[in-house]
């Protein structure tokens, strides 16, 4: 029994030594596998500049004193564009699998639809009560 255990340990050491030698050979030959994905820094710099431009436009909305639906539609548009670029590039969503994109993006979109439906229902209720109280 002890001889079998000693043989297993010896085989384990040989396998470990063989693995280390193979890893050393791969590193020495320059064919080692890169960890993770590598993206050019230019992509990040361009998106950073674009986010700066969108933020400037958001500031200009207040500077030019825009009001009403134009103001809010522009603010929401710039906000969604900035959030989309941040998620796609800086959070690496652009390079993920489609299933993961759906798993992350579909639930918030469903919540936005439900919030929109609640806002429509709330406006209907408010206008119905307002019409009822005025008569």
Looking at residues 18-36, what average pLDDT do you find? 51
Give per-residue pLDDT as tens, 75-88.
999 999 999 999 99
| pTM exceeds 0.75 | no
* Among 53, 57, 51, 52, CA closest to 75: 57
| Whole-angstrom distance, CA of residue 15 vs CA of residue 121 | 69
Instruction: Return the SS3 of 67.
Output: coil
Angle at 17 (CA atoms; ends 13, 18), nearest 5 degrees = 115
Do the beta carbons of residue 90 and residue 66 sit within 8 Å?
Answer: no
């Amino acid at each position: 029994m002890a001889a079998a255990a000693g043989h297993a340990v010896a085989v384990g050491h040989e396998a470990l030594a063989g693995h280390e030698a193979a890893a050393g050979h791969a590193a020495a030959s320059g064919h080692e596998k890169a960890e993770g994905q590598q993206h050019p820094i230019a992509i990040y710099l361009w998106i950073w500049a674009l986010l700066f431009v969108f933020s400037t436009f958001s500031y200009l909305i207040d500077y030019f004193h825009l009001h009403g639906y134009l103001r809010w539609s522009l603010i929401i548009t710039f906000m969604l564009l900035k959030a989309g670029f941040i998620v796609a590039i800086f959070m690496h969503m652009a390079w993920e699998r489609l299933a993961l994109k759906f798993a992350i993006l579909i639930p918030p979109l469903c919540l936005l639809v439900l919030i929109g439906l609640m806002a429509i229902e709330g406006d209907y209720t408010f206008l119905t009560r307002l019409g009822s109280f005025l008569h």
